[in-house]
Amino acid sequence: MGTIVQFKVYGKNAEKATQAAVKEVSNIEKKMSVNIKTSEISKLNAKAGVSGEKLSTDTYSVIEKSVQYSKLTGGALDATIEPIVSLWGIGTDKERLPSKKEIDEKLKFVNYNDIILDKKNSTVKLKRMNQAIDLGAIAKGYTADEVKKVLLNNKISSAIINLGGNVYALGNKPDGTSWNIGVQNPLSTRGEYLGSISATDKSIVTSGNYERFFIKDGIRYHHIFDPKSGYPANKGLISTTIVSDKSIDGDALSTSTYILGLDKGLKLVESMKGVEAIFITNDKKIYVTPGLKDNFDLTNKEFTYEKGR
Ligand code: ADP
Ligand code: MG
């Protein structure tokens, strides 16, 4: 998945459960990765504009969910972003700043309405040649949910699933108290926290511009793209954290609220039941939704709460 995967699993069955969980991660990756030539997604992309690809229920459901979120977010999340992702190549040895002309050329292929879903046959087709799907914004969330199921099936009731910052806190700590999940400080490198969230049976997912990026002429170009422009999203946020029951929702929402920006992002999250958020702006202000306030502990004084929030 192009990231570090870490499990902390407690209980008698932990060893066996962890092995099953690792296997689940690689099974999903084999189906959904754009970087694996034999994956279902690669096959589907190769047939764009020609024919559909029959998919496993796993892959089908993730694409379907992605389309639902595209509709909900007015196209902020769009799995057909792949031509733009490849053009920029951020995080690969081909990363570069493309010309506006190149970007506009690729942007023509980005449109989630061209994902043709056939649920009865579990088949997906991309309408036009050169279109391609990338599930990078949502697949880790789905994977966390599936890993959780594997652990539960193996009688585990206390664990942390961490797929490169996409975290699920299963049950409580072995001592019976809630887990404390660190919230990444978006201004420093991975593993430095600005605070923590106390959580039991919750998903905590953060998207930010610190994850994968390059800097050219003082400008940071990162890996979360605005499908309207084809450029990295730049609506004043540097990180978005979503707390939810299901990690697929958290993953979809952290990426899309990042793209939508503070006002629209907050509005969206506040309209959804059981979803809480922490948004951090360029000027180091923190917005926390009311339902999360009591469970969030801000420790880094560099960041300040926005008044009224
Ligand atoms: P991370 O991979 O850092 O956890 P995200 O969940 O925010 O971050 O997903 C970012 C990834 O999603 C990118 O690397 C890219 O593959 C894909 N992506 C980028 N922009 C979009 C978008 N607007 N809609 C859907 N997927 C996107
Ligand atoms: Mg995401």
Domain coordinates in residue numbering, the chain? 1-309
Query: Has this prediction a pTM greater than 0.85?
Result: yes
* Residue 191 contacts residue 48 (beta carbons within 8 Å): no
222: number of CA atoms within 13 Å, CB side?
19
> d(Cα 31, Cα 28) in Å, to the nearest integer?
5
Residue type, 209: N
Nearest CA to ligand 1 atom 16: 136
Q: How does the average pLDDT of the chain come out, rounded? A: 96
pLDDT value for 263? 97
- Per-residue pLDDT 10s for the chain (309 aa) are 888 999 999 999 999 999 999 999 999 999 999 999 999 999 999 999 999 999 999 999 999 999 999 999 999 999 999 999 999 999 999 999 999 999 999 999 999 999 999 999 999 999 999 999 999 999 999 999 999 999 999 999 999 999 998 999 999 999 999 999 999 999 987 778 999 999 999 999 999 988 889 999 999 999 999 999 999 999 999 999 999 999 999 999 999 999 999 999 999 999 999 999 999 999 999 999 999 999 999 999 899 998 645
Looking at ligand 1, which residue's alpha carbon is closest to its atom 4? 207
Of all ligands present, the nearest one to the C-alpha of 164 is: 1
CATH H superfamily, domain 1-309: ApbE-like domains (3.10.520.10)
- The whole-number pLDDT of residue 224 equals 97
Ligand 1 binding pocket (C-beta < 6 A) is 77-79, 81, 85, 134, 136-137, 140, 164-166, 207, 211, 223-225, 227, 251, 254-255, 259
Question: Which ligand 1 atom minimizes the distance to the CA of 212?
Answer: 3
Please tell me what DSSP assigns to residue 126: E
Ligand 1 atom closest to the CA of 206, numbered from 1: 4
User: What is the Rg, in whole angstroms, of the alpha carbon atoms belonging to the chain?
Assistant: 19
Question: What's the CA-to-centroid distance between 248 and ligand 2, angstroms?
Answer: 8
> Ligand 1 pocket: which of 112, 222, 223, 260 to mutate (most atoms <8 Å of CB)?
223
- Ligand having the closest approach to the CA of 135: 1
Burial 115-133 (b: 16+ CB within 10 A, else e): bebeeeebbbbbeeeebbb
Residue carrying structure tokens 């990426």: 255
Residue with tokens 């958290």: 250
Residue 301 CA, ligand 1 centroid: distance in Å: 29
| Torsional sign, CA 234, 163, 114, 41 | positive
